[in-house]
Structure 1
Amino acid sequence: MPITASRDTVLCMSLAARPGNFGVRFHNFLYRELQLDYYYKAFAPTDLPGAVAGMRALGIRGCGVSMPFKEACIELVDELDASAAAIDSINTIVNTAGHLKAYNTDYLAVAQLLDSHAVPRTPFALRGSGGMAKAVACAMRDAGFDEGLIVARNERAGRQLAETCGLRWQPTLGDERPPLLVNVTPLGMAGDCADELAFEMQAIEAADTLFDVVATPALTPLIQAGQRLGKRLITGDQVAAIQALEQFVLYTGVRPSDEQYQRAAAFARG
């Protein structure tokens, strides 16, 4: 059934440097499924403060925030939920009568996936130091992963994240071969980085578990390598689906059934 809009239609959106279609398909599927008069659209803003001000001024209900805006948006909102304040990174903004409150549903998604995949609390290396890396590293820390390494070329951000989570920092992985590798960079993402492996093959071969937060494509070079080698895998589209579900609930106040959620996620992966 096609989406129809009226003057009463509630708008939601996302802001990303390179928008994908996952959120658009996921949210709009559930709006139709649950007969909610909502519509979701993805944007690549050239003026971030202007985009967030427009959300407030136009009464746009919800906004998903993706790389590289998860930290830059903090100063543009009125209030941080505990999920965002604890890690100083946001991925969701909810507009209630002009009051913008920010959340982080990435953290919730990562925590759920580590538990559902029964990932052992082994040493790990996490590549990345941006807003999403904060969510992943803090979720891992709080889940009991206390021996790890932040791999980041940005020394200031890398050291800061490592200190926040009680971890080590290095600019490269070097000769270390931890059992768990986590990619929280654009490496492997559709576009210029699509063919790049987030870690060297020697490290991938030595690992037991590979976790790539890149959602598009779900089968990044890292995940494909892990499939060939029979590794335990957590993919970015799994993270995207869970965090999108929690965003949907924040925007609408409605929680879909598990069956509706599963069909929406399958449709979004399309």
Structure 2
Amino acid sequence: MINSETQLIALIGHPVIHSKSPQMHNVMFEKLGLNYRYIAFDVKKEQLEQAITGIKALNIRGLNVTIPHKVNVMRYLDEISSEAKEIGAVNTIVNQNGILIGYNTDGEGYVRSLIEETGVKLAGKMVLLLGAGGAARAIGVTLSKHSLKEIVIVNRDIEKAKELQRKLGKNIPSSVITTSQIKYFIDKIDIIINTTSVGMYPNTGESLIKQEWISSNHIISDIVYNPIVTQLILDGHQKGAKIHSGLGMFVYQGVIAFEKWTGITPDPRIMRETVLDLLTIN
């Protein structure tokens, strides 16, 4: 029950109706006995500045920010973490006594889940990064600080891929190839990461990687979590590769945001089970 002492957390984006974040966080607030409540607001682009002003006025404790506001919201914040600046996007905001501080938990959430679920030692590994959008930037920037050998970027928009290459090149070697060149590089790759929407519901039979390119030496990672088993994940499993689904990233970016809002570390297993139940129902 919401009362005058309830700490509010909000999600802003457009659209937000399909988000599983409210249920995931509210279950955890209840389990921990915290007087917090997570709610979602559908905020259009032209309403963003007013929404952020309202966050301060209503003393909302924190925010998650999703598409299409992760970049534009930065101009309305008081402080931005160094990692969020480097990534160029914010997905989490903490209201610290009227000071709005922006963070990006996507990259760290991804890497935490990748290591936990696969046991991979990242140092010296070659990564094939499919995509060059916001998720790719967050994942790429975070991975680039883990002593990888190289990140190879594939993206339909080559200029966007080169922009990401320049960003990552400050930390580690990186290169750009076309989709048609993947098969010539694939044997050198240790980890294949899909950060695009290819394979997402309802286009569940699609993948940028052909099954015959995959071997048991690969780690196959797909940030799409609806469905949990994408075509890429299915192909990787059938070829004996280690697999890593997008549910882990979704849960752990939420874990880190939860820590920033409350100072308490939630149980990722409960959060994962909550989202799995919702996906099964839907």
Q: TM-score, normalised by structure 1?
A: 0.86
Deviations 1:82-141 (A, max 9, x none): 231232222211122332111111222233234332335432211111222111111221
Deviates more, 1:67-76 or 1:241-250: 67-76
2:72 is matched with 72
Q: Identity, % of aligned pairs?
A: 27
For residue 280 of structure 2, what is the aligned residue in structure 1? none
- Cα gap change, 1:235/1:160 in structure 2, threshold over 3 Å: closer, same or farther? same
Aligned-partner SS, 1:73: helix
- Matched with 2:258 is 248
Mapped to 2, the partners of 1:89 and 1:219 lie a distance apart of: 28
Amino acid at match of 2:60: I
Alignment correspondent of 1:163: 166
Which residue, 194, 197, 219 being the options, matches 2:207? Answer: 197
Give the residue type in structure 1 aligned to 2:196.
T
Structure 1: stretches of 5+ with no match in the other structure: none
User: Separation in 1 of the partners of 2:51 and 2:159?
Assistant: 28
Contact 2:114 2:248 (C-alpha < 8 Å) held by counterparts: no
Cα RMSD for the two superposed structures? 2.3
- 1:200-234: CA deviations, max 9, x gaps? 33434586111111233322222122222221111
SS of residue matched to 1:269? helix
Q: Counterpart of 2:176 in 1: which secondary structure?
A: strand
Instruction: Map 1:131-210 to 2 at 5 A.
Output: 131-166=134-169, 167-174=174-181, 175=183, 176-177=185-186, 178-191=189-202, 193-204=203-214, 208-210=218-220
- Cα pair 1:132 1:184 within 8 Å, conserved: yes
Question: Contact conserved, 2:211 with 2:236, CA < 8 A, in 1?
Answer: no
- Counterparts of 2:208 and 2:10 in 1: how far apart (Å)? 29
The Cα of 1:80 is off from its aligned counterpart by: 0.7
Sort the Cα spacing of 1:213 and 1:8 in 2 relative to 1 into closer, same or farther, 3 A.
same
Instruction: Name structure 2 gaps, 5 residues minimum.
Output: 278-282
Change (3 A) 1:150 1:207: farther
Q: Between 113-122 and 218-227, report the one with greater CA deviation.
A: 113-122
The answer to whether the 8 A contact 1:89-1:132 is kept is no
- Please state how far the C-alpha of 1:29 moved relative to its aligned partner: 0.7
Aligned residues: 263
Deviation at 1:267, TM superposition (A): 1.8
**Higher mean C-alpha displacement, 46-55 vs 220-229:** 46-55
1:81 aligns with 2:78: no
Q: 1:185 to 1:72 in 2, by over 3 A?
A: farther
Task: Tell me whether 195-204 or 121-130 shows the greater mean CA deviation.
Answer: 195-204
Deviation >4 Å, runs of 4+: none
Match of 1:232 among 242, 245, 254: 242
Query: Is 1:123 the equivalent of 2:126?
Result: yes
Contact in 2 for aligned 1:81/1:102 (Cα 8 Å): yes
Contact 2:91 2:103 in 1 (8 A): yes
Q: Distance in 1 between matches of 2:11 and 2:71?
A: 15
3-state SS of paired residue (1:28): helix
Tell me the TM-score normalised to structure 2 length. 0.83
Secondary structure at the counterpart of residue 39 of structure 1: strand
Q: Check 1:249–1:201 CA distance in 2 against 1; reply closer, same or farther (3 A cut).
A: same
Q: SS of the residue aligned with 2:87? A: coil
Distance 1:53 1:151 in 2: 39
Q: 1:262 to 1:14 in 2, by over 3 A?
A: same
